Amino acid sequence: MQRIGVFVCWCGSNIAGTVDVQAVSDALKNEPGVVFSTNYQYMCSQAGQDIIKQAIAEHKLTGIVVCSCSPRMHEATFRKTAAAAGLNPYMVEIANIREQCSWVHKDMPIGTEKAIILGKAAVAKVNLNTPLTPGETPVTKRALVIGGGIAGIQTALDIADAGFPVDIVEKKPTIGGKMAQLDKTFPTLDCAACILTPKMVDVAQNDKIRIFSYSEVTDVKGFVGNFDVTIKKHARYVKEDVCTGCGLCTEKCPQKKVPNEFNLGMDNRRAIYIPFAQAVPKVATIDPNYCTMLKTGKCGVCSKVCTAGAIDYKQKDEFIEEKYGAIVVATGYNPISMDKFDEFAYSQSKDVITSLEFERLTNAAGPTAGKLLRPSDGKHPHTIVFVQCVGSRCDSCAQKGKEYCSKICCMYTAKHAMLTRDKYPDTDVYVFYIDVRTPGKNFDEFYRRAVEEYDVHYVKGMVGKVTPEGDKLKVQASDLLTNKQMHIDADLVVLAAAIEPDKSARPLATMLTASMDTNDFFTEAHPKLRPVESPTAGVFLSGTCQGPKDIPETVSQAGAAASKVIGLLAKDKLTGNPCVAHSDEWMCNGCSSCERVCPYGAITYEDKEFRMPDRTTAIRRIAVVNPAVCQGCGACTVACPSGAMDLRGFASSQIMAEVDAICK
C-alpha cells in the first residue's frame, strides 16, 4: 500500500475562487492510501514546495498528488521537488483543478465536487504508480551522411566543422550529385560548378570527413546514438589511394562507346572513366559492364599506361562496418521517366529533351561545350518550346505522373528561357505554363525579367501533342488567354519533367525504419516544428529526399539537419523517457501485432528459452521493446491481443483506476 500525500493549491483565488480547497483536501484525506492531505495558497512557490518536501520526510510518503494547475505548467516543478526530497519523480501525479475545473466552472459546489473527483482519480492512479528510472545510453560520436549531393556535402561540412567525424556514402564514383550537372543557378545565375566544386574540395580536404564513393549502405542495426551500419564499397578496379587522377587511362582506353551518364547519354565516355574534371575523389573507375578486360580477359591497356600502378582487375566488393550516433539521409531526386508522356514524342525525337538534358547542353563542360545545338543534327535551334508541369500535379487516377508540384521547374525554366534569349537573341522562346509558381526571395522578379526584359513568350496553356516531321517539331498547344489552339514549328522542345525521390530511398527507409509518404519522400517528425528529423530517433533528413526543394532551401535544410546532429552528438549520454512500452514475456505470444503499429520500429522479436512445467523448456518468440527508441505513444498496447504490452506511467490498470474513480 502506498503512503500518499495530497496537496491542494489555491493558486491565490484562481482555484480557491470557485473550488472550496479545504473541502477538497478534507475529502481526499479519506481516500485509500492517503495518509496526509493539506492545502496551501501557492503550492508552486518555494514555501509550498517546502511543505511537500517536509511532508514526504515526515509522513514517509511514497507518492504524492498535487491538485493544482495543468501538469503542462508545473508537473516538472513538482517532480523536481519530489526528487529533491528523495522520492522517485514519477510517483507524482497532478490533478488539473485550475484550467480544467476552476476556470471553466462558475459555481462553487459544482467546481468543488468536480475537483474532488479529479483528485480521487489522481489518487487512484498514484496508488498504482511505480518508480521509474529513465534509461541512459551512450552516444557514438560519429555521423553518417547517405548521399553526396549538395545536401549531403553541406550537412557533412557543418557537422565536421563542429568537430565530429562524418562519413559520406555516395553510390556514384564521385560526390557532387545533381548540382554538379547544372549549368547556372537561379536567381543569381552564378555557375553551379563555381560554387559547388570548392565545397567538394573542402570535403576532400577535411580530415574529419571520410568519403565512401561508389558505395552504398546495405544494413542498419541499432538505434539512436548506437547505429551499426554496413557499407558496401563496390569494386572500382582502381586502387583509390594509389590513383593520382591523371586521366591518362581514360584517354587511352579503347572502349569508346559507353553512354556517358553524367551527360545523360548525350555523348560517350570510355570504359574507364572519371565522371567529370572536378570529381571528388578524383579517381578513375572501371565500368565492368563495358570493360573488355573484365569481360574477356583481353586488353589491359589502362594497366599498361598507368604509371602509378593503380589498376587492379582483381579488386572485390568490400564491406565496411562502422558505428554511428546519427544518420542523415540525403538521397536526393531524379527526373521521372518520360515513357508515359509520349504525346510529347520524347522517345521519337532526339530534339525533345528534358530540362536536365538542357542543362548539360548549355553547360560549358557538356557534350556541346556549352553551345546550344540540337542533339539530332547539331544545328542551332531557332524556335524553342518549354513545357512545364510534365508529370507534376497529376491526379492519382490518371496513373501517370505525380500528384505534387515539383517546385523547382518554374524557376529553372525561366532561367533556361532567359539564358537562351540572352545568348542567342535570334531565338524564339515559348514557355507553356499552367501556373507560374515563383515564391522565394528574388524569384518572381527573376521570372518577370524573363518576360519583360528578355521577351520570352509565356503562354498560359498546355502542349497537347508534339509531332516530329522533317527537321521540325510541330507543337500543338492551347493558349487559354486568347482561347486559340496554337501550332508552332519548333526546333527543340524541352520538358520540365517532374522530380521523384531516388529509387534507393525506399529500401533505405526500410533499413532505417524511417517512414515515407506515398510518393516515397521521407516523412518528417513534425511537418512544421521538426522538419529535418525523421520520426525515427537519430535519423535526420536533408534535401530533396524529404520533398522537392531548390538549392537555397536544400542548403538551409542541410545546415538545420547538421545542427540537430551536432546537438545529439554533443551529448555523452542520452536520457530516455521512462514512460515507454514494455512487454510481459510470459503473456506475449509473438504475434507481431505490436511491431506492425509501431511508428518507430522500437519493437523487435527474440527467441527466448522458457522453463515450462515438468522441467521442460520451450523456445518462444517474444516481443522486446527498445526503450531508447520507444516514444511512448501506446499504439502497441491496444494492438496487443494478449494484453502483454503495457505502457509505463500510463498503464492500463492506472487508466482503468482513473475511469473507476471518475465513474464512482
Closest CA to 70 of 42, 44, 94, 90: 94
User: Residue from 48, 63, 71, 576 that binds another protein (CB under 8 A)?
Assistant: 71
Smaller CB separation from another protein, 293 or 498: 498
User: Residue from 70, 77, 315, 376 that binds another protein (CB under 8 A)?
Assistant: 70
User: Residue from 111, 152, 281, 332 that binds another protein (CB under 8 A)?
Assistant: 111
Tell me the three cell numbers of residue 132: 521509474
Smaller CB separation from another protein, 185 or 593: 593
User: Residue from 297, 425, 439, 527 that binds another protein (CB under 8 A)?
Assistant: 527
Smaller CB separation from another protein, 15 or 623: 15
User: Residue from 177, 375, 381, 401 that binds another protein (CB under 8 A)?
Assistant: 401
Smaller CB separation from another protein, 101 or 551: 101
# chain residues binding another protein, by CB under 8 A: 83
User: Residue from 47, 84, 242, 398 that binds another protein (CB under 8 A)?
Assistant: 398
Tell me the three cell numbers of residue 503: 529509387
Asked if 21 interacts with another protein (CB under 8 A), we say no
Shortest Cβ 240–another protein spacing (Å): 41
Asked if 514 interacts with another protein (CB under 8 A), we say no
Asked if 323 interacts with another protein (CB under 8 A), we say no
What CA–CA distance (Å, rounded) separates 183 from 332? 18
Q: Which helix or strand (DSSP H or E) is residue 608 part of? A: strand 603-612
What CA–CA distance (Å, rounded) separates 364 from 371? 8
Pick the stretch among 137-145, 255-263, 335-343, 449-457 that binds another protein (CB under 8 A). 335-343
Pick the stretch among 280-288, 337-345, 361-369, 551-559 that binds another protein (CB under 8 A). 337-345
DSSP character for 561?
A: H
Asked if 485 interacts with another protein (CB under 8 A), we say yes
Tell me the three cell numbers of residue 469: 516531321
Asked if residues 6 and 12 have their Cβ atoms less than 8 Å apart, the reply is no
Asked if residues 35 and 4 have their Cβ atoms less than 8 Å apart, the reply is yes
Provide the edge-to-edge strand list for the sheet that holds 457-460.
352-354, 492-497, 383-390, 428-433, 457-460
Asked if 113 interacts with another protein (CB under 8 A), we say yes
Strands (E) located in 2-87: 4-9, 34-40, 63-68
Asked if 91 interacts with another protein (CB under 8 A), we say no
Asked if 99 interacts with another protein (CB under 8 A), we say yes
What CA–CA distance (Å, rounded) separates 103 from 613? 58
Asked if 77 interacts with another protein (CB under 8 A), we say no
User: Residue from 57, 84, 104, 277 that binds another protein (CB under 8 A)?
Assistant: 104
Closest CA to 634 of 602, 587, 586: 602
Asked if 343 interacts with another protein (CB under 8 A), we say yes
Pick the stretch among 76-84, 105-113, 230-238, 298-306 that binds another protein (CB under 8 A). 105-113
Asked if 341 interacts with another protein (CB under 8 A), we say yes
Pick the stretch among 59-67, 158-166, 522-530, 605-613 that binds another protein (CB under 8 A). 522-530
Smaller CB separation from another protein, 186 or 223: 223
Asked if 13 interacts with another protein (CB under 8 A), we say no
Asked if 108 interacts with another protein (CB under 8 A), we say no
User: Residue from 468, 531, 552, 578 that binds another protein (CB under 8 A)?
Assistant: 468
Binding to another protein (CB under 8 A): which residues in 578-597?
A: 579, 597
What CA–CA distance (Å, rounded) separates 365 from 309? 29
SS3 breakdown of the chain: % helix, strand, coil, rounded to 5? 30, 25, 40
Tell me the three cell numbers of residue 199: 565545397
Asked if 96 interacts with another protein (CB under 8 A), we say yes
Shortest Cβ 296–another protein spacing (Å): 31
Asked if 348 interacts with another protein (CB under 8 A), we say yes
Tell me the three cell numbers of residue 426: 535570334
User: Residue from 15, 477, 509, 565 that binds another protein (CB under 8 A)?
Assistant: 477
What CA–CA distance (Å, rounded) separates 223 from 629? 6
Binding to another protein (CB under 8 A): which residues in 528-547?
A: 535
Asked if 114 interacts with another protein (CB under 8 A), we say yes
375 preceded by cis ω (within 30°)? no
Asked if 100 interacts with another protein (CB under 8 A), we say yes
What CA–CA distance (Å, rounded) separates 153 from 161? 12
Closest CA to 269 of 366, 336, 346: 366
What CA–CA distance (Å, rounded) separates 456 from 437? 16
**Neighbouring residues of 663: CB distance < 8 A, sequence distance ≥ 6:** none
Pick the stretch among 211-219, 231-239, 343-351, 551-559 that binds another protein (CB under 8 A). 343-351
- Count of CA atoms in the C-beta half-sphere (13 A) of 336: 25
Give the Å distances, CA to CA, from 114 to 24, 75, 120, 329.
9, 20, 10, 50
Shortest Cβ 255–another protein spacing (Å): 31
Smaller CB separation from another protein, 80 or 402: 402
> Exposed/middle/buried for 119, CB within 10 Å: 0-12, 13-18, 19+?
buried
Shortest Cβ 389–another protein spacing (Å): 7
DSSP string, 262-300: GGTTSSEE-SEE-SSTT-SS---EE-TTT-HHHHHS---
Pick the stretch among 170-178, 257-265, 274-282, 473-481 that binds another protein (CB under 8 A). 473-481
Binding to another protein (CB under 8 A): which residues in 137-196?
A: none
